[in-house]
Amino acid sequence: MRVKNLLISVVMIGLVGYGGLKFYMYYKAKGLITDVLACAGMPQGATNSLLFDYKMLSVSVFGQVGIKDLSFHNPVLDEDISIDEIRLEKLDYEGELKSCPVPERLFIVIDGLRMNVSLLEKMERMEKQVRQKHNIKTQDKPQIIRRLGYQSVFDRLDDYRDLGYDQLVMDLEFDVKLDSAKKEATIRFKQSIEDMGDTEMEFVFAGMAKTISTAILGVQVKEAKIVFRDDSYMDRLIKLYAEENNTSIDEYRKQLIVRIDKDIASKDIKLSKESIENIKSFIQKPDRIILTAYPFRPVGIESIKHYKPGDVPMLLNLQAHLE
């Protein structure tokens, strides 16, 4: 596929020159964007409606495709999402894109995504109404969180309004590499949210299938790394809990650290002493924390639920670092 595209490009350069090539690539890119959006679930024709709009489409002879000043309107919720720029840095796949194959490489950069917190609140209320109407019971919290008894803590992590956020402004990067021969996938995700912090995640999964319908069946965690740099988020969260418990921020930090020690002992959480101290240091003075998981052999995601919650850190060889 790449050789064929290269030959076509070379012929076009010779026939119509660089300007003609850019003109050709523009329309190829526009078709590519339509196909990508369709695979992402965008309704057919939405790109030509008032719901979806972008002011500029840029293309490069090196393969990058970009959309600038993109906007999306949800008429049901009467909310808007705007994005300064989306760049499709890399897309390698086999077959026709219209059939939505699992890409061997997908690298997308999103700059300046803006959404009101009210949009998330409306979506949550709508989802709750649908579940109640159709009597749908779902588990919206990770099983290990429920088994450890931290449901209430988990629920507060995205209470953005109570944490002092009216709007979320963020930059995102999503990079996926699929090695079909080894049946491995490397997934890198980077997120930077204004006045909240930066998160970088990198996972290496084994046992990946090639089709979308079976891509995650039997997946095993081979490596994982999460880096979080705080920018007021932890202080906001601790302040929220302190106010709810009618105590000072400093006092609540002390109580939280004491609770961590008690929970680790009572629930027999097998985590190294150094990791525990690093977690407590991060709570005491939030800055940067790194979580790594390098299991001695790949661990099936589905198999984790069969282990005691306290044994999972040892199973994954989970460690917490400050540097």
Amino acid at 131: R
Q: Which of 264, 268, 267 is nearest to 277 (CA)?
A: 264
d(CA 174, CA 190): 7
Contacts of 99 (CB under 8 A, 6+ apart): none
10 Å Cβ neighbour count for 134?
7
Tens digit of each residue's pLDDT (9 = 90 or more) over 50-106: 445 555 555 444 456 677 887 877 787 888 888 888 888 887 767 666 666 667 888
228 membership: H or E segment, kind and range = strand 220-230
3-state secondary structure of 277: helix
Amino acid at 224: A
Token output for 203: 């996972």
DSSP 323: -
How far is it between the farthest Cα atoms of the chain? 75
d(CA 182, CA 118): 44
Tens digit of each residue's pLDDT (9 = 90 or more) over 269-298: 999 999 999 999 999 999 999 999 999 999
Q: Which of 85, 60, 59 is nearest to 70 (CA)?
A: 85
d(CA 24, CA 235): 52
3-state secondary structure of 261: helix
Q: Yes or no: say if 56 and 32 are a contact pair by the CB < 8 Å rule.
A: no
Q: What is the pLDDT of residue 31?
A: 56
Q: Yes or no: say if 234 and 280 are a contact pair by the CB < 8 Å rule.
A: no
Q: Report in angstroms the alpha-carbon separations of 284 from 81, 161, 254, 311.
A: 36, 24, 8, 26
pLDDT of 227 higher than 50:
yes
Percentage of the residues of the chain whose pLDDT score is greater than 90: 39
Q: Yes or no: say if 289 and 278 are a contact pair by the CB < 8 Å rule.
A: yes
Q: Which is more confident, 40 or 115?
A: 115
How many distinct helices (H) and strands (E) make up the chain? 8, 11
Token output for 24: 């050709």
pLDDT band at 238 (very low <50, low <70, confident <90, very high): very high
Residue carrying the six token digits 């500029």: 56
Mean pLDDT in residue range 122-134: 82
d(CA 3, CA 18): 19
Q: What is the pLDDT of residue 49?
A: 44
Task: Supply the pTM of this predicted model.
Answer: 0.78
